[in-house]
């Protein structure tokens, strides 16, 4: 059941590493704990990963690959910008609610001081991409006369910000007693506010 399956073995190690690193950070994590969680010996770990840093780096890469790649191909739709924004937000909320993804931000944020490259990779591969996608969405809305002529760059941050906050909330504060937040509800409310504004008179 566990002899000759290099790919499985590798994934199971990465999976265990995710938990250990997520719980303790890079410096605080112990290789022995990772091994123990996989049910192998430390030495076997080193058969697959050159050292602790390699394991950590490949873990992050794996997480980024695993979680973001096929993200949001929905952009295609020829619905209205409003609808597409709403759909995007729902999809994003759904993805970010996945625990396998949610702790990546914490990990990368926490270790960005020690591993700047990881921050860069996460930025390039995931964050920047998503923000650019949102920018495009906003820009499209403006071009179609559907949205006001706001700054797409900043607007994209307005769109994404609350979701980031929500993810971190659930990752950081929920474990210490705060009420977990429904990303879906947050997304719905946020899109509503974004589109229609807070002001009373403004809504037709």
Distance CA(186)–CA(26), nearest Å, equals: 31
Residue 129 CB, nearest approach to a second copy (Å): 13
* 40 near DNA (CB under 7 A): yes
Distance CA(134)–CA(89), nearest Å, equals: 10
- The pattern of x and - marking residues 98 through 137 that bind DNA according to CB under 7 A reads ----------------------------------------
Of the listed pieces 24-32, 71-79, 97-105, 124-132, which binds DNA according to CB under 7 A? Answer: 24-32
* 52 near DNA (CB under 7 A): yes
Going by C-beta distance under 8 Å and a sequence separation of 6 or more, which residues neighbour residue 147? Answer: 81, 138, 141
* 3 near DNA (CB under 7 A): yes
Contacted by 111, from DNA, a second copy, none: CB < 5 to 8 Å by type: a second copy
Distance CA(133)–CA(155), nearest Å, equals: 12
State which residue, 2 or 154, has the beta carbon closest to a second copy.
Answer: 154
Task: Out of 15, 21, 22, 47, name the contact with DNA by CB under 7 A.
Answer: 47
Of the listed pieces 30-38, 58-66, 83-91, 167-175, which binds DNA according to CB under 7 A? Answer: 30-38
State which residue, 54 or 154, has the beta carbon closest to a second copy.
Answer: 154
Task: Out of 14, 17, 22, 29, name the contact with DNA by CB under 7 A.
Answer: 29
Distance CA(16)–CA(111), nearest Å, equals: 18
Concatenating the DSSP letter of every residue in 83-141 gives HHHHHHHHHHHHHHHSHHHHHHHHHHHHHTTT-HHHHHHHIIIIIHHHHHHHHHHHHHH
Distance CA(164)–CA(178), nearest Å, equals: 16
Q: Which positions lie near DNA, rule CB under 7 A?
A: 2-6, 9, 29-32, 40-44, 46-47, 50-53
């Amino acid at each position: 059941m566990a002899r000759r399956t290099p790919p499985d073995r590798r994934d199971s190690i990465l999976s265990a590493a995710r938990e250990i690193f997520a719980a303790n950070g890079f410096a605080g994590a112990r290789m022995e704990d990772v091994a123990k969680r996989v049910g192998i010996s430390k030495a076997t770990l080193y058969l697959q990963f050159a050292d602790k840093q390699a394991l950590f780096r490949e873990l992050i890469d794996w997480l980024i690959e695993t979680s973001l790649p096929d993200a949001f191909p929905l952009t295609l739709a020829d619905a209205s910008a409003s609808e597409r924004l709403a759909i995007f937000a729902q999809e994003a909320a759904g993805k970010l609610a996945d625990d396998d993804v949610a702790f990546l931000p914490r990990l990368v944020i926490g270790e960005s001081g020690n591993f700047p490259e990881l921050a860069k990779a996460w930025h390039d591969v995931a964050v920047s991409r998503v923000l650019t996608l949102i920018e495009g969405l906003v820009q499209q809305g403006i071009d179609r006369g559907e949205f006001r002529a706001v700054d797409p760059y900043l607007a994209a941050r307005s769109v994404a910000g609350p979701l980031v906050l929500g993810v971190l909330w659930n990752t950081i504060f929920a474990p210490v007693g705060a009420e977990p937040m429904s990303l879906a509800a947050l997304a719905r409310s946020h899109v509503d506010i974004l589109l229609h504004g807070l002001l009373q008179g403004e809504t037709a």
